[in-house]
């Protein structure tokens, strides 16, 4: 199956620990990711957090809620968060977030890797790119800055 990968960065206000704490809580992703409207079935064990995020897609008056299974892990050393997403339609997404000090703030670098059936390329890559840009801007806004590159 085809795979695409892309990376974006933002420098946010706040110390690494504050940013890590925010991003390591599943509940933070409601509204942080533009499609995520709910998080449920949170299970923390074995140095990982597993949960179901509910994405809402809209097309005019129609809406579709898409439950996706997420496993968030925290490989060391350093401040990294890896989220593995299993979505219907044989779509897989891995988001790797790395944090590093940047002056008084923290640089957040997110690499997204998506695997998908070829006919879904436009939809999957388009949605993943749009969601990543939104997520980084919203994180910056939440932490009181908006310097996205």
Fold of 3-148: Alpha-D-Glucose-1,6-Bisphosphate; Chain A, domain 4 (3.30.530)
Residue 111 is encoded by which pair of tokens? Answer: 């690499």
Task: Express each pLDDT in 33-63 by its tens digit.
Answer: 888 999 999 999 878 999 999 989 888 898 8
Residue ranges per structural domain of the chain: 3-148
pTM of the model as a whole: 0.86
Tokens standing for residue 6: 């892309």
Residue 72 β-bridge partners: 49, 83
* Sequence-ordered strand ranges (E) for the chain: 3-13, 36-45, 48-59, 62-73, 79-87, 91-102, 105-115, 147-148
> Given the DSSP bridges, would you call strands 91-102 and 79-87 parallel, antiparallel or unpaired?
antiparallel
Compute the distance between CA of residue 88 and CA of residue 94 in angstroms, rounded to an integer: 15
pLDDT digits (tens, 9 = 90+) for 57-108: 888 898 889 899 999 999 877 789 999 998 888 999 999 999 999 988 999 9
């Amino acid at each position: 199956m085809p795979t695409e990968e892309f990376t974006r960065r933002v420098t946010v206000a706040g110390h690494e620990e504050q940013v890590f704490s925010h991003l390591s809580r599943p509940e933070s992703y409601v509204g942080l990711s533009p499609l995520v409207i709910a998080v449920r079935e949170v299970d923390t064990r074995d140095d990982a957090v597993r949960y179901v995020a509910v994405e809402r897609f809209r097309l005019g008056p129609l809406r579709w809620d898409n439950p996706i299974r997420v496993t968030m892990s925290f490989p060391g050393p350093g401040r990294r968060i890896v989220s593995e997403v299993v979505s219907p339609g044989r779509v897989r997404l891995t988001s790797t977030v790395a944090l590093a000090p940047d002056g008084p703030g923290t640089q957040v670098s997110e690499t997204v890797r998506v695997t998908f059936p070829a006919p879904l390329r436009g939809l999957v890559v388009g949605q993943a790119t749009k969601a990543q840009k939104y997520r980084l801007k919203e994180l910056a806004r939440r932490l009181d800055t908006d310097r996205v590159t």
